[in-house]
Amino acid sequence: MRKISLTIIAWFAFLSSVFSQSGSADSNPILYSSGASSSILPVFTYTEVTHGSQYLFDDWVKGVLISTDGTVYNDPSYGFAYNKVDGALLFTKDRKSAIQVDDSKIKSFTLYDKQDYPENFILMPIIDPAHFVQVIADGNKYKIYKLTITHFVKNNYHNEGMTSTGNNYDEYVDDYTYFVTMNGGAPQKMGLKKKSLREVFKNELDKLNSFFTTNDEPINDIYLRKLGDYLNK
């Protein structure tokens, strides 16, 4: 674990004191526990031309975190950032220093985009032990998840006179994988094609075909959320 600065240590002590006197959900400050680690402050913009980002959003966003002991952290002054490369959830109080929250203390968290739309995440080691998965649809019968893993690809441009190959910029490339669980069973992969959906939901073909008839837009997160809600009725 990297050495925590004196400023951070003092900040921990102050907040722990405040929280210990409070009757709110923050009275058990797992965000500041020994399991959390200091982290390099995220850089959301780059001085050089870099495509994509290692972070889910391009700035700190508000969020709600639920710890494994049921404590809810929803202070609107908190800022959160999710690192898609290493799966780390970062937290800040002052936008000047950051803390990486201990994964083992997180039950779930919700981050809000600029339109105040919530995106919910949980850790499912059976899918990936290091990255959180986004909950696309949640119901008694079917749950749909999205795993995002981001890779850094270095500038690989080569000019060989008459021809050139590669890109003349660094970039972060997102890889998406979708999963579905049925009646609490093991997750299975699913593709973003109607053929794949028919294979996955083969026991719901009548409802699935009915949904296809009235929903002809591209299959994406919004589409899958609507599909999950429909099949869970």
* Residue 217 covered by a domain: no
Q: Is residue 223 part of a domain?
A: no
Whether 1 maps to a domain, the answer reads no
Distance of CA 172 to the CA centre of its chain: 16
Cα-to-chain-centroid distance, residue 11: 27
CA 133 to chain centroid: 6
Question: To 5 degrees, how large is the angle CA 173–CA 177–CA 178?
Answer: 145
Neighbours of 25 (CB within 10 A): 17
Number of folded domains in the chain? Answer: 1
CB count, 10 Å around CB of 19?
Answer: 16
Domain annotation covers residue 83:
yes
User: Does residue 46 belong to any structural domain of this protein?
Assistant: yes
Domain of residue 56 covers 6-188
Instruction: Tell whether pTM > 0.95.
Output: no
Q: Which residue has the tokens 């990486």?
A: 100
Flag whether 225 is in a domain. Answer: no
pLDDT, one tens digit for every residue, the chain (233 residues): 343 343 333 333 333 333 333 333 344 456 665 566 666 677 776 556 788 899 999 999 999 999 999 999 999 999 999 999 999 999 999 888 889 999 999 999 999 999 999 999 999 999 999 999 999 999 999 999 999 999 998 887 666 656 666 677 889 999 999 999 999 999 999 999 999 999 999 999 999 999 999 999 999 999 999 999 999 99
In a domain, 50, yes or no: yes
Q: Could you count the other beta carbons within 10 Å of the beta carbon of residue 1?
A: 9
SS (H, E, C) 102-164: CHHHEEEEEEECCCCCEEEEECCCCCCCCCCEEEEEECCCEEEEEEEEEEEECCCCEECCCCE
| Domain-embedded: residue 178 | yes
Radius of gyration of the chain from its Cα atoms, rounded to whole angstroms: 21
Helix then strand then coil, in percent of the chain rounded to 5, is 25, 35, 45
